Amino acid sequence: MADIHLLRTFLTVYRAGTFTRAAHELHLTQPAVSVQIRSLETQVSKPLFRREARGVVPTSAGRELAQAVAPHVDALEGALDGAGEAAPAVGDTVHIGGPEEFLGVRVFPELAPMMEDGLRVRMFFGVDAPVLDRLVDGELDIAVLTVDTRRQGIETQPLCFEYLDLVGTPTWHDRLGEVPEGPDGAVALAQVPLAAHDEDLPLVRIYWQTVFRTSPQLHAVLVANSLRSSLQFAVSGVGVTVLPAHTTAEAVERGDLVRLLTPRSPTRSRLYLAWRAGSLRRPSLAWVHGRIAHAAREW
């Protein structure tokens, strides 16, 4: 098992991008930092950085290791720095951003008990681009994203999968019949009005590429940065949409919507948890991060 000091050195190099800058931050010599990184690479049996002219770039193994250990190392250091202080959440405010429905259905129930202990939460609902911009600018502390990011100063970890449904009213189901998998399914839906939460059709694109094995050649009739609007679009009978299963569940159970296709393999979209590098040393934020990450194992 790697020594925490080796992991801290690794994370400092990972965030700094050069051995020289990391050595300065750690108050070590550059050779000492190099020795520690080599020691860690020996322990994990993989190179963690690729040396380039202007510094170092993490390998895929290095990025995976950073995603795995950064929350725990930062939280441990934050807990040690704050040892003996009051409960970390009392009087603190954590700003969280991400998709409205996911934060409401999944995240809020996990944070409610923490709010009873004094934590204050502010949520910003939005798609990836504005959420990520606010995270970078410090307006948000933690965010849920639908894509991974390589933005400087932002760290991420895989959170969970959302399973996707192609849904419409029973009338649309009767009109379309059995929508087949493969390219013929895309052809059958080519003239059907569509709703999406982004002009780039991210959920639709994943579904089309996975189930129909083609990219959607479509323009959405409705684009609204709220999955609930897409849901209402489908319930109204105007057309169809692709949404996470937790968003469609109640409407499907009531019979307002039906799944127009049940693929042989479930279609899913990965979500990511993102935060600014080093910010999990703040105990309340580490607490929130840990609560969400732990709950996501059951999502």
pLDDT tens over the chain, length 299 residues: 567 888 889 989 998 899 998 998 888 888 889 999 999 999 999 999 998 888 899 999 998 898 888 888 887 777 666 554 444 444 589 999 998 889 998 999 999 998 888 889 999 998 888 999 999 999 999 999 988 998 888 999 999 999 999 999 999 999 999 899 999 999 999 999 999 988 889 899 999 999 999 998 888 999 988 888 999 999 999 999 999 998 999 999 999 999 999 999 889 999 999 999 989 888 889 889 999 999 999 98
Instruction: Answer for the pair 244, 156: CB distance below 8 angstroms, yes or no.
Output: no
Residues whose CB is less than 8 angstroms from the CB of residue 61 and which lie 6 or more positions away in sequence, other chains included: 44, 46, 47, 48
Coil/strand/helix, residue 99: coil
Q: For residues 71 and 83, what is the distance between their CA atoms, to the nearest angstrom?
A: 18
Shared domain for 148 and 276, answered yes or no, is: yes
Shared domain for 277 and 151, answered yes or no, is: yes
Q: For residues 198 and 128, what is the distance between their CA atoms, to the nearest angstrom?
A: 10
130 assigned to some structural domain: yes
Residue 248 has what pLDDT? 94
Tokens 């009213």 belong to residue: 169
Shared domain for 215 and 259, answered yes or no, is: yes
Instruction: Answer for the pair 142, 92: CB distance below 8 angstroms, yes or no.
Output: no
- What's the one-letter identity of residue 249? A
Shared domain for 14 and 73, answered yes or no, is: yes
Q: What pTM did the predictor assign?
A: 0.71
Shared domain for 217 and 260, answered yes or no, is: yes
Q: Which of 152, 14, 149, 157 is nearest to 72 (CA)?
A: 157
Q: For residues 287 and 83, what is the distance between their CA atoms, to the nearest angstrom?
A: 14
Residue 72 has what pLDDT? 82
Shared domain for 99 and 49, answered yes or no, is: no
Residue 238 has what pLDDT? 96
Q: For residues 277 and 129, what is the distance between their CA atoms, to the nearest angstrom?
A: 18
Q: For residues 264 and 14, what is the distance between their CA atoms, to the nearest angstrom?
A: 41
Shared domain for 214 and 260, answered yes or no, is: yes
Sign of torsion, CA 36 38 41 42? negative
Shared domain for 176 and 56, answered yes or no, is: no
88 assigned to some structural domain: no
How many residues are given for the chain? 299
Structural domain span for residue 250: 162-269
